[in-house]
Each structure stands twice: as structure tokens, then as C-alpha cells.
Amino acid sequence: MLKVVLVPINKAGWPFIAIFAALGIFLGWLSLPLGFVGLVLTAWCTYFFRDPQRTTPTREGLIISPADGVVQMIDKAAPPEELEMGTEERIRIAVFMNVFNVHVNRVPISGTISKVAYRPGKFLNASLDKASEFNERMSLKVTTKDQVDVGFVQIAGLVARRILCYASEGDTYQAGQRFGLIRFGSRVDIYLPDGVEPMVSVGQLAVAGESVIADMQTKETARSGEVR
């Protein structure tokens, strides 16, 4: 139980936690009720930046969710042009993170980061389809040892004003390793290789570093789901 409650905090969160804590102390000095509000906000900020360990499936060919959240959309779209993956449409899976999800993002498949490109933009609601085109984003491409490309894109949202990406071109990552985060609430899009079908359905909850969203070694058709 303690491992569930007392999870590690991402290093990017400590400055914000300190600011919230200082504000809480100041509010508490003004009045006890305001101090309680400050305590709640500090607790929420600490909760937001939690960074739990994840157990990642390690079989080759598995594509793992890069983000916690709801599978908001599965459609076909051309990858961002800055990824240099061509103009042909690929299956795109969008995972939407609300302000209560873990916001640490993870690499979806083992390989070498072959492209990292930042593009400034707007801060539309990340749940909108046009957010993938107009919002601020950080686009990455990982190339596996078999020379298969998988694109994934951090997209800023309505309240997300900062994308953090620690990956650089030429870096080698294992599936499930942390590569960045987004403050505060947003989405991550994944562009699957040609011929690979999704193994998740819209509305399903995905767990970064754990949930298998596609399998390049299976011939299984796209899965469907229903609310029960």
C-alpha cells in the first residue's frame, strides 16, 4: 500500500511543489481556512508530478502506450511533416491526459531516436482533433533495429503550457523508458507503422509504459470495445 501512495516525484515537479508550499504557508499566515486551501493545492501539485515505476512488456514488436490517459481517438492521419515519415496516412492513436493522470511520458518501442522536432503553436483544447495540427508540439521518431519507424507527438493543451522532452537525436531508448512530460494536461499521439493494427479501442484507459497498444508481430485485426 505504501508503494502505491508514496510514489517517486519527478524532478521537474520540485520547484512547483516548493512554490505551492510557500504559497500555502503564506496563506496560512493570513488565515487558517486559506492555509487549508494552500495545503490542498500543494498536495495536488505533489500528486500531479508523481512518477511511479512501471513494468513494461519486453517482447520485440510490442508498441507500448507513451502516456497515461484515455484512448480518445483512433483514426488515420499523415504524421507531422517535420518527422519526415512521408505524406501517406497512418493509423493514429491519441491518448488524452487530464490533470489527474500521471504526466510522465515514455518511449513506445525500443530503438534510436532518429528525429526530434519542436513546433510552436496554439493552446487549443487537446481533445479537439485540430489540436494535433495547430497546437504547440514536440514530435519524435524512433527507429527500431529493423529500421521500422514509429512516430509519437507530445501536444500541448488548453492548460498545458510547457512541454519537456529529454530525448535527443541519436539517443537509444528501451520501450517504457521516460523521455519527458507535459504540464498540465494534454495528449500524446502515436503513428503506427504501415499494416499494424491497434490493440486498444476508443474509451479504453491506457497506462504509460505498460499498456500494449499495438503488436507488429501479430496478424490480429483491429480490436473493438464496448462499455460494460
Q: Are 96 and 126 in contact (CB under 8 A)?
A: yes
Residue 93: beta bridge partners? 74, 190
Q: What cell numbers appear for 157 in the block?
A: 493543451
Q: Are 101 and 69 in contact (CB under 8 A)?
A: yes
- Run of H or E residues at 164: strand 162-165
Burial of 219 from C-beta contacts in 10 A (0-12 / 13-18 / 19+): exposed
Query: Hey, CA dihedral for 103, 118, 158, 151, is it positive or negative?
Result: negative
65 is an active site residue: no
CA–CA separation, 115 vs 72, rounded Å?
Answer: 25
Among candidate residues 186, 201, 211, 224, the one labeled active-site is: 186
Distances (CA, A) of 38 to 102, 109, 147, 184: 22, 40, 51, 18
CA–CA separation, 126 vs 135, rounded Å?
Answer: 8
CA–CA separation, 96 vs 104, rounded Å?
Answer: 13
Q: Which residues are catalytic?
A: 186
